[in-house]
Amino acid sequence: MSEMPSRTPIVAGNWKLNLTVGEALALVKALRAEADGLEGVEVVVGPVATALHPVAGALEGSSIGLAAQNTHWEDRGAFTGELSPELLKDVGCTHVIVGHSERRQLFGETDEGVNRKVRAVLAKGLTPILCVGETLAQREAGETLEVVLGQVEAGLEGVEDASAVVLAYEPVWAIGTGKTAKPEDAQEVHAAIRGKLGQVAPRVRILYGGSVKPANAAELLAQEDIDGALVGGASLRADTFVPIIRAALPGG
Ligand code: PGA
């Protein structure tokens, strides 16, 4: 018998290199007022590393999760400038974004390194949000599925239970550009990803990311295999992030 799907959607904000501690705390206060304790959607925020600890304090007692934007795979040692799953857990992180396209493109992250990070995050009981996506050139060359499925396979290598991982499909050409994948094109990629996940596939959350805004969230989230959103620009303000969260609510 195949498993029945039951996937609580996730709306995660990736604040990237934005917001001071003071600005982050003000945003968290607004989010707690409007998006705390909602039934049927998980909300996660991803501040810069210097704001993780204070934001964790401000989120205490709330249902909102806390994501780091990156990690190293080792827990401790001579790795100047790095952070680790152990230390991120220590300050209250619940999630870690791994393999974001900006990390891959601007900071030279490889599939192998991304996989080591995914496994290190899982080993500490945290949830990796594993990002995958094709560039415009790859899409135009008809390589989208090959690239994306290759990144999924490499990122999950050696992972026993893929349902402990959240996947995020983010076409690189849609990130921060105002261009969104057409809902049906995104759905096609999401369905192909799910098709690769084996028995646990019905339980794996696959988020869409890339210029998700209040105006386009509902039609993206209505797609069968889109289980939430990873939101950059629109997550920096409560008045644009909260409507996206609401669009993910059952019947929203
Ligand atoms: P964007 O970023 O919503 O600003 O396009 C998404 C992301 O990079 O996660």
The protein residue whose alpha carbon is closest to atom 3 in ligand 1 is: 232
Catalytic site includes residue 188: no
Average pLDDT, the chain: 96
Q: Please give the pLDDT value at position 239.
A: 98
Segment 211-231 mean pLDDT: 97
- Determine the residue of 44, 132, 211, 245 to mutate for testing ligand 1's pocket, defined as the one with the most ligand atoms within 8 A of the Cβ atom: 211
Active site residue 157: no
Please identify, by atom number, the ligand 1 atom nearest to the C-alpha of residue 230. Answer: 9
Q: Of 42, 100, 134, 190, which one is the catalytic site residue?
A: 100
Confirm or reject: Cβ of 232 under 6 Å from ligand 1: yes
8-17, 149-158, 175-184: least confident range: 175-184
Q: Which atom of ligand 1 is nearest to the CA of 233?
A: 4
Give the model's pLDDT for residue 1: 44
Q: Is the CB of 209 under 6 A from ligand 1?
A: yes
170 lines ligand 1 (CB under 6 A): yes
Ligand 1 proximity of 212 Cβ (cutoff 6 Å): yes
Q: What percent of the chain has pLDDT over 70?
A: 98
| Ligand 1 atom with least separation from CA of 97 | 9
Question: Whole-angstrom Cα distance, residue 153 to residue 187?
Answer: 19
How far is Cα 96 from Cα 127, in angstroms, rounded to an integer? Answer: 6
Judge if the beta carbon of residue 211 lies within 6 A of ligand 1: yes
Q: Using 50, 70 and 90 to split pLDDT, how confident is the model at 180?
A: confident
Residue 3 clears pLDDT 60, i.e. is over it: no
pLDDT digits (tens, 9 = 90+) for 193-204: 999 999 999 999
